[in-house]
Structure formats: structure tokens, C-alpha cells
Amino acid sequence: MIASEADITDERIRELAVRYDTRGPRYTSYPTAPQWTAAVDNGVYRDVLQRHDGGRPVSVYVHIPFCARLCLYCACNVRLTGKQAFVERYLAALRKETETVAGLFSRRPHVAQLHLGGGTPTFLSTEQLARAIDHLDTCFSSTPDAERSIEVDPRITSREHLQMLHSRGFRRISIGVQDLDPRVQEAVGRRYGEDDLAEFVAAARRTGFREVNLDLMYGLPCQTEQTWRRTVEAIVAIRPDRLAVFGYAHVPWMKPHQKSLERFGLPGAEERLSLAITCRRLLVDAGYHAVGLDHFALPDDSLARAFREGRVHRNFMGYTVQGAETMVAVGASSIGDFPAAYVHNDVSADGYIERVESDGLAVVKGHVMSFDDRLRRRIIVRLMGNFHVLPAQIEREFGIVFADHFASEITQLDRFTDEGILRKDADGWHATLEGTFVIRNVAMVFDRWLRPDRADTARYSRTI
């Protein structure tokens, strides 16, 4: 049982940040993307699909890269276009890839979780989006309790969009708010009023959406402790079911448009940490449960329940209660997650379209899993999602002797135990409240691919 939030002081959190903050993966995958190579191509992907047990439920992710305008903090794969001919060509490629993938399974896959992301899926017209969803439903069948969710931008999402989505079984929407302060919004190029947001959420709930997710982001230009507090308090008043709270990743060498934010000044490490602490305190005081690295959920939300029961799953969609081991992903830049391999599509929308038109698939790199990769992935996923390492569970699943296979790792886990980061009992190791703040550092213990002395670790974000 993790202790109460009141049992850890802000000073202790800052002490942990000084002691443990380094660069490391967020472990939405293991091995992480820097280890993937072009040796995994369409041919390898076809073999993975044909060998997969099609009788087990899957998750499906669909990437719609289009946006009406560019938010300057964005690090996602987006495409700004007003050319409907190009949009239709992309949708045709999406249909062809979906048909190719579904046709390679040994039997028609059942979908436990469907998520449409981007970009902004509701950039598409209601008719285009409905057509895309209906085609997915011809290729895949859904389990009775399948979760369907979509990312929306309230500025361009109509009531007709909401009604159409609800009629096709969508019950969860995610909205990237980031910040409600007008000065911050002006700097990042995403202007949207607090009252407008509250009305949109109310409209979604009237339509029948049971679960509303909001995303917030700290570390943006012009954010101060005072303005950030007002934003979080306003969000609490709207009462979303879940929140994801991310630190802004400033990577202008990858996303050159982010360079323009530097003229406003960006919060330093100490300021970012204060903003993160403030948000966490306000959300927990308002009744939200902290889940994993960066999610918060109301006590009766399915994610909060799953966390209490130790069955949270983590993949490229983030934290989820649907533990399907396979995530089929279609669209430009999408990443498929299979027990045997990861497959990554061409990032460019143009390149994606050309590859699919030519061969039905668009894989440009990936990673085929060894036994050791799969073993360590299972440990890391459970650490990141449920904050524990349970040796007996791992031994049953993989037929190993945990103490023999992970002798050096156990020494490091015991060091974390001595430092109050982990608690050890007869079942294994469990993160303390302090440990939840540095869980990425604990997960790094099991990462055989990670070389902290190598220059490429600079591509990772700070662990706290």
C-alpha cells in the first residue's frame, strides 16, 4: 500500500530530484526506439502478423496527422494542409493498410481498445471520419466491452462530430488543454477560453460521453506559479474523469518550430519542478488519485480502479486498463506493439502514402524481440504501471529462476530498498510513495540496452 501524499514534503521531492534526476526512457516500449533498426521491414511485419494468435483481443491505434494550425509546443507528427485531395489520398492509404494488416491475421481480430489520435482526428469532416471508422469496423470486430476513444480539438470539433462518434460507440474523449492562461496561450499559439472549454465538456457529456480526459502541460513559456495554479483550479472545477500532466519537451533540433518559444523564456528546472508539485498537490487535494508517472483519475474511474487492483497496462497509448498484448497501429508514424516485435511506419505522410500504395504496408524500422527482451519488457511494464516487481509471477510466466537471472539487478533493487525508494516483502519489491517519483530510475535497472555513458542518452527526457 502506497502512503498518503501528505507523508512526503515538497522539500523531500526536491531532494529526490537533485539525487536521482538524470536522463532516461519513459518506457512506453522496451527496448526503446533508439535500439530499433531498418532490418525490420514490411516482410518481417507480414511474418509477425501471420504468426500472431488472431484469437486474442488486440488494441488498435489510428494516426490522423492533420491539424488546422500548429501549436508551437507540439512534438507530435502533424501535417498542416488545406488540400482535400491529399486528405482523401491519405484516407485511401489508411483503408488499404488496414485491410492488408487485418487480412494477414490467421482469423479476424477482436478489438478490445480503439483509439484515434494525431494530429487532430476531428480535422476530418464528420462524413470522412465516419467513413474511416466504419471501414475499421469492417476489418475488425469489437469485444462487447471494447473501449473507444479519440483525441479532439474543441476549436474545430462540432456537435455533429460528437453525435456521430457517440453513435459508433465512442465514450471517451481526450482534449489537449495544456494551459488556460491567455498569455501562455498567446505564446504557444493555442487560444481557447475557459468558458468555451467548460461548455464543450458539458456538451460532450450531454451527448453521452461518459469519460473525459484533459491534458495539461507544465514548463511552457510565460507560466508562473500563480497562473498555473489558476489553470489547475479551473480544470478541477470542470471535473474531468482523468488528467494527463506532462512536462513540456523542448526539442528544437527535432521540431524547429519550437525554437520560436525561446524568445518568451522557458521555466528552468527548479521552476518546472515547482509547477509539477503544485499541480499534483491541487489534484490530489481535489480527490484525484495519482496513477503511474503522470496520470490522475477520479476514484471511481476505471483507470483508478485498475491501479488499485494492480492491473494497469502501459503502451504507446499511455496507461490503459485494456491489457491486450498486441497493439495494431495504422497511419503515418504509427508504432505497432506485438509480443514478438515492434514495427514503426514511415513518419512522413507522403512517404507513408507512397509505401502503402506500393506494398500495402509502410514499415521502415522496428525490433524483433529476444526472450530476454520479452522478459525484461514484462518487468518494466509492470514497474511503470503498477509500481512492483513480483519474482514468483515472472518465474511462472517465463520459466526462469529470478534470483539467478537477475542477480546484479537484485543488488540494485536492494540498494533502492535501503534508500526508502522500494519496500521489500515476501512477494517482491514495491515502490514507496517516494519511489513513485523515481520509478523510471528503478525501471532503468532492468534495461540491458541502456548505456548511461553513451552520448545518445541525451535524446531522453529528465527522469524527474
Q: What angle (nearest 5°) sits at the alpha carbon of residue 98, between those of residues 93 and 103?
A: 130
0.85 exceeded by the pTM?
A: yes
Contacts of 137 (CB under 8 A, 6+ apart): 168
For the chain, domains (ranges, CATH) are: 1-23+371-464 (1.10.10.920), 26-329 (3.80.30.20)
The DSSP element (H or E) to which 291 belongs, if any, is: strand 289-291
Q: Kindly tell me the burial class for residue 423, based on how many C-beta atoms sit within 10 Å of its own C-beta (0-12, 13-18, 19 or more).
A: middle
Strands laid side by side in the 388-389 sheet: 388-389, 429-431, 422-424
Amino acid found at 464: I
CA 370 to each of CA 51, 316, 374, 407: distance values in angstroms, whole numbers, following the listed order: 16, 20, 6, 20
Contacts of 341 (CB under 8 A, 6+ apart): 40, 44, 45, 48, 366, 367, 368, 369
Beta pairing class for 66-67 and 110-118: unpaired
CA atoms of 139 and 108, how far apart (whole Å):
7
Torsion angle of the four alpha carbons 223, 224, 228, 230, in this order, in degrees rounded to the nearest 10: -120
Longest dimension (CA), the chain: 62
pLDDT of the residue at 324: 75
pLDDT of the residue at 455: 44
Phi (first) and psi of residue 436, to 5 degrees: -65, -25
Q: Which residues of 265-297 are buried (b: 16+ CB within 10 A; e: fewer)?
A: ebbeeebbbbbbbbbbebbeeeebbbbbbbbbb
**3-class state of residue 455 by DSSP:** helix
**3-class state of residue 309 by DSSP:** coil
pLDDT of the residue at 19: 83
Per-residue pLDDT of the chain (464 residues; tens, 9 = 90+): 455 666 678 888 888 878 887 778 888 899 999 999 999 999 999 999 999 876 788 999 999 999 989 999 998 889 998 899 999 999 999 999 999 999 999 888 889 999 999 999 999 999 999 999 999 999 999 888 889 999 999 999 999 999 999 999 999 999 999 999 999 999 999 999 999 999 999 999 999 999 999 999 999 999 999 999 999 999 999 999 999 999 998 889 889 999 999 999 999 888 998 999 899 999 999 999 999 888 999 999 999 999 888 888 887 777 888 667 899 999 999 999 999 999 999 999 999 999 999 999 999 999 999 999 999 999 999 999 899 999 999 999 999 999 999 999 999 999 999 999 999 999 999 999 888 888 999 999 999 998 655 545 556 666 66
CA atoms of 401 and 274, how far apart (whole Å):
43
Nearest alpha carbon to residue 123 among 196, 68, 200, 197? 68
pLDDT of the residue at 162: 98
Cell of 344: 514503426
* Long-range pairs of 86-89 with CB within 8 A, sequence gap ≥ 24: 86/349, 87/124, 87/128, 88/128, 89/353
CA atoms of 157 and 151, how far apart (whole Å):
10
Contacts of 80 (CB under 8 A, 6+ apart): 66, 67, 68, 69, 70
CA atoms of 131 and 377, how far apart (whole Å):
36
